[in-house]
């Protein structure tokens, strides 16, 4: 039996589509490949976007900004000396884009100008850090990304 060019092309396209569909179904069905949103309530989060941008702008307008640095002990957040440490309140949220189960939050309640997030709490890989804090009634938002080895 001889196959014409047209029939061969149709068979090749059908096999290729089957191959692609097999992998799409495999990824969607396997819990190893978890396809979850970064934020649970995405639309509620988007509705507050304007407020978030104002807090980001407040942080950008500061003459002396908090510094987030990676050290051997972990991640250290150092607030400028112009801020009284015990008046700074807020929350540091650490997000692991690849695994939601590793996300955690640390309250900002400090007596010296720095906050240490121990390396033992952080697994290797990418971490997104959102620091929402307030000082003298003004709200700020600082975002950063780190790669832990």
pLDDT 10s digits, 41-91: 667 767 778 888 999 999 999 999 899 888 888 889 998 888 888 889 999
Do 46 and 18 lie in one domain? The reply is: no
pTM: 0.66
Kindly state whether residues 72 and 23 are assigned to the same domain: no
Main-chain phi, psi angles of 110, to 5 degrees: -125, 155
At residue 28, the 3 state secondary structure works out as helix
Residue 63, classed as helix, strand or coil, is coil
Q: Which of 128, 129, 82 is nearest to 108 (CA)?
A: 129
Position 100 confidence tier, pLDDT thresholds 50, 70, 90: confident
Same domain, 90 and 112: yes
**Domain of residue 143, residue span:** 42-148
Same domain, 3 and 58: no
> In the chain, what is the greatest distance between 2 CA atoms, to the nearest angstrom?
87
Tokens, residue 29:
């069905």
Q: Tell me how many domains the chain contains.
A: 2
24 and 53 together in one domain: no
| Across 115-140, average pLDDT | 90
Q: Please indicate, yes or no, whether residues 4 and 75 belong to a single structural domain of this protein.
A: no
């Amino acid at each position: 039996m001889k196959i014409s060019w047209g029939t061969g092309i149709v068979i090749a396209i059908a096999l290729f589509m089957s191959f692609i569909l097999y992998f799409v179904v495999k990824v969607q069905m396997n819990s190893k490949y978890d396809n979850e949103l970064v934020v649970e309530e995405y639309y509620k989060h988007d509705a507050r976007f304007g407020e978030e941008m104002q807090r980001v702008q407040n942080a950008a307008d500061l003459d002396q900004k908090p510094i987030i640095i990676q050290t051997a002990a972990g991640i250290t957040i150092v607030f400028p000396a112009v801020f009284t440490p015990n008046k700074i309140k807020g929350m540091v949220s650490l997000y692991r884009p690849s695994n939601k189960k590793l996300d955690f939050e640390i309250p900002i309640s400090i007596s010296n100008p720095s906050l240490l997030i121990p390396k033992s709490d952080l697994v290797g890989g990418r971490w997104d850090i959102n620091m929402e804090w307030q000082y003298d009634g003004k709200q700020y938002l600082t975002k950063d990304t780190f790669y832990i080895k």
